[in-house]
Amino acid sequence: MNNGAQDKKKLLRATTVLAVMKDGRAVMAGDGQVSLGETIMKHKATKVRPMYKDQVLVGFAGAAADAFNLFERLEGKLESFSGNLTRAAVELAKDWRTDKILRRLEALLLAMDKEHILIISGTGDVIEPDESVAAIGSGGPYALAAAKALVAHSDLDAVAIARESMRIAASICVYTNEHMVIHELG
């Protein structure tokens, strides 16, 4: 892999965003670190935002400018399909995969509503995990493992699970910090 491809791959991984559903509660958390190569550029970035009348939460991993472009497009799709997250995600993934400009965007999206958690990629993937948790970014595997264990083996609520799982990821992943933003769907 050439250095340009390695840099792009690193950009896609350098964060942690986690979605947790438990006992009817839907929560998404994202860390605040922005890295440029090996340098921390910012500590308190916001990588998770509510959409469509606060009925959908979306987080990103990857290049911020690309993610904001995708946020706008997903928001438009949600408006077009009256908040139907699955339909909006599929239509976004189709556009993302087939459009010559969009194909170059380097990001992953994690989206959730009260019933679904979806991972959306530029390769046309819209993945709904079997479990009630999902994560993206370099710290994603650590946060995911922690959240799965806490959902199954603790009495913690969704917010506490997200917070503790993100803390665990931050203690392992150098591209993840403990400055997190946590949103819950109303």
156 Cβ contact partners less than 8 Å away, ≥ 6 residues apart: 150, 164
- The span from the CA of 114 to the CA of 43, in Å, is 29
DSSP secondary-structure letter at 180? E
Contact 96, 102 (CB under 8 A): yes
Does residue 15 have an active-site annotation? Answer: yes
CA distance 34 to 13: 11
Instruction: For the chain, report the end-to-end CA distance as a whole number of angstroms.
Output: 44
**HSE-CB of 148 using CA atoms within 13 angstroms:** 11
Residue that has been written with the tokens 């203690």 in this structure: 171
Any idea which residues carry the catalytic annotation? 15
